[in-house]
Structure 1
């Protein structure tokens, strides 16, 4: 069901334009290209294609399939191509607490059946020259349970987190996209201790696995959940090298999820994901990090905690999730940061003074007309997940239950 405009729960400097409930599917990553939003899903599987050429009347025009035991939660678009991850649906066998509590030691793909028959694992390439009709043209299978998230901006190489047989969790891999019909892995890196089949051992606390890395120049900025932040030199794609590793968990709660490099200012924004209800874990932070000396990154500030209402009392997940990543062709700024905060919607921050980030706007979606989230064991509150911002300040938000919201940033 499409609803053109839904009044928000609260808003500042952001005006609603349009909304689509995605037919109740759980919205995860969103990319916008050629007037269409491409949205990955978790439990519901596949990818939704929404025509957003009229942002006040978004239309669901296609859905792409995925194996019933896998998910396609993350994707990337550039030009006429789209890359979509395919990974075993871990949350079909793990509770939320189990999934985030520890590394997935001892699990190999054979534990879940025959890859390619009982689940799909790898990366699929689509031709999106006809935006509403993506056409599969390539697939890169992996010997493991699949990819989690990708970074690709149209050049020769893509970068992904992959859980491969013999490793304790997701590691960093480099993918050669020279022939999009035959992508291939050409390099990999992991935190020492993760290669169990190579005889490595570890004493990791919590879950240590790569969520994803964002690339700037020859540096990959990787977030490793409870394993912290790494800066990798990727000038040689076949042999990434560690520049530095910074981990603030403990004493902080970890869940390091998303990094946004701002190379013109020698700064890095890093969000730690809230993965449990706020009464079950400490509040997670979004950090400002000084990277003038890449070998020694230094935390210099945290973003202010949203306080226009009592989000602690509201319950559910309260805290950071994703950042708008300044992709080529999208809204780009080294001072204005868009970040999703789950039960607190989307927040906008001014980091002109990196030592004192200031909140300048927000949009908190209204609860959906129909709840599907109860079957996933979460409290019935909105959980804003991902954000993509176009050059003109048009903001696309996904929510686990509230669908796709399109809003205009009025603070530029």
Structure 2
């Protein structure tokens, strides 16, 4: 492996980011439309065929993690959807769905009062035709216009701007889930139909204001700059979402007016894809962490959400594919976890590796400092030459000094980050036929969404469930 010189991008704010005017071509992701979309814009593996073979020989009871429940989502009208991300709030789990069998699976709500027997009790966000609903965030909100539990759901078209599907549109749906048994749709933040939609999103509060942050991949490209990839939306009145601010790194480039590309001719000699995949904030809603693929995790000060300020970003060595996919925070927001989703482990001029995790010190948010890189036995396993997502890391979540990673066929991997400069794997849950998309930590259990098998509820060994018998889970 050649020396890892840092890729410099001090020119972002100066507007000298050089981009090539070529049409999108497939890099890490491919869009879905009854298979693989011929648009071939980098997107998020909607084609299940590209996930590779699931793990055949799993182990449900490895160190520190124990499967307490496994519940497939219900068939609706004879259709079995598959799951995407998972979130939990006040004893209820919310599972987004992906694109299998025509999409429109909506968000499934599970009652987790007895986490060993989760009960599916409802479905939301399934009524916009030809869309899929990957990401859902739920928070308690208290604004002059709304008091209660608010859910925001990402909405993406299965076929962007399709003339034969005039009712299909992307964006974000907003629901009152104060009573999860009786959810109520409040609003819809609609995007231009030329945009596929909102891929991932986040919800935060600032005092009596509620903010939704959305990631709209290639919005700038598809609308010739009319819309941007990263947007901050005021949802204090969920029935009337209002855009406050937006950003796209391409708008800072000094390029010809006819420019319509998204590639970045990086200083390391690589042509790198740049688009907004995901976003989170800290607990106070002061800073946003935006996963902009090969531009890294870009950090913004959003304390004044109408005038957000760029602070800094993570950088990649010149032999690393970027693919900043998702982020999580630890140590009160001073440690940043960055996962990189890389399905194709090879490439000229790059190291041979599937996607792995990087950990940064961000006490100085203008200058993230790389502390460590966490790899697993999957990272360099090239025994299966098929292009697949099965061996790459996906999403991170943190509870205390433990990092939980969803890892597709690798299941859920738990990592001790007490010393973030020296992360150590401490547990792994890998069920048979594993295809773990999302992970979430809530109370004394860990939730995992398996694309083919539904909701998994994991308890740490020696932790107690909340069922009526209050029995201890034994090894």
TM range (shorter): 0.7 to 0.9
Unpaired runs of at least 5, structure 1: 1-6, 91-108, 327-331, 368-381
What residue in structure 2 maps to residue 290 of structure 1? 361
Deviation at 1:292, TM superposition (A): 2.9
- TM-score normalized by the length of structure 1: 0.79
Pair 182,141 (structure 1): closer, same or farther in 2 beyond 3 Å: same
Other structure's SS at 1:82 match: strand
Q: How does 1:24-173 map to 2 (within 5 A)?
A: 24-43=80-99, 44-45=103-104, 46-64=106-124, 65-79=126-140, 80-89=149-158, 111-113=161-163, 117-143=166-192, 144-155=195-206, 156-163=210-217, 164=219, 165-167=223-225, 171-173=229-231
Pair 389,203 (structure 1): closer, same or farther in 2 beyond 3 Å: closer
Pair 199,235 (structure 1): closer, same or farther in 2 beyond 3 Å: farther
Pair 119,289 (structure 1): closer, same or farther in 2 beyond 3 Å: same
Other structure's SS at 2:393 match: coil
Partners of 1:220 and 1:310 in 2: CA distance: 32
What residue in structure 2 maps to residue 274 of structure 1? 342
What residue in structure 1 maps to residue 459 of structure 2? 408
Deviation at 1:313, TM superposition (A): 4.1
Question: Within the alignment, does 1:12 sit opposite 2:63 as a pair?
Answer: yes
Deviation at 1:356, TM superposition (A): 0.9
Deviation at 1:154, TM superposition (A): 4.5
Partners of 1:321 and 1:258 in 2: CA distance: 7
What residue in structure 2 maps to residue 94 of structure 1? none
Range with bigger deviation, 278-287 or 37-46: 278-287
Pair 197,56 (structure 1): closer, same or farther in 2 beyond 3 Å: farther
Pair 199,295 (structure 1): closer, same or farther in 2 beyond 3 Å: farther
Partners of 1:169 and 1:362 in 2: CA distance: 41
Deviation at 1:8, TM superposition (A): 3.7
Question: Within the alignment, does 1:227 sit opposite 2:291 as a pair?
Answer: no
Pair 145,266 (structure 1): closer, same or farther in 2 beyond 3 Å: same
2:441 to 367, 389, 392: 389
Question: Within the alignment, does 1:243 sit opposite 2:297 as a pair?
Answer: no
Other structure's SS at 1:209 match: coil
Pair 88,249 (structure 1): closer, same or farther in 2 beyond 3 Å: farther
Task: Describe the superposition over 1:28-54 as per-residue Cα deviations: whole angstroms up to 9, x where unpaired.
Answer: 111112332111112132111222222
What residue in structure 2 maps to residue 318 of structure 1? 391
Partners of 2:242 and 2:201 in 1: CA distance: 14
Other structure's SS at 1:130 match: coil
Other structure's SS at 1:264 match: helix
CA contact (8 A) 1:253 1:282 kept: no
Question: Within the alignment, does 1:187 sit opposite 2:245 as a pair?
Answer: yes
Pair 214,265 (structure 1): closer, same or farther in 2 beyond 3 Å: closer
Partners of 1:264 and 1:62 in 2: CA distance: 35
CA radius of gyration, larger in: 2
How many residue pairs match? The answer is 363
CA contact (8 A) 1:188 1:239 kept: no
CA contact (8 A) 1:14 1:411 kept: no
Unpaired runs of at least 5, structure 2: 1-57, 75-79, 141-148, 265-270, 464-475
Partners of 2:225 and 2:93 in 1: CA distance: 34
Other structure's SS at 1:17 match: strand
CA contact (8 A) 1:285 1:303 kept: yes
Deviation at 1:83, TM superposition (A): 0.7
Deviation at 1:286, TM superposition (A): 0.3
CA contact (8 A) 2:137 2:153 kept: yes
Pair 131,295 (structure 1): closer, same or farther in 2 beyond 3 Å: same
Question: Within the alignment, does 1:365 sit opposite 2:436 as a pair?
Answer: no
Partners of 1:313 and 1:342 in 2: CA distance: 17
Q: Which has the higher strand share?
A: 1
- TM-score normalized by the length of structure 2: 0.69
Partners of 1:310 and 1:289 in 2: CA distance: 22
Deviation at 1:245, TM superposition (A): 2.8
Other structure's SS at 1:192 match: helix
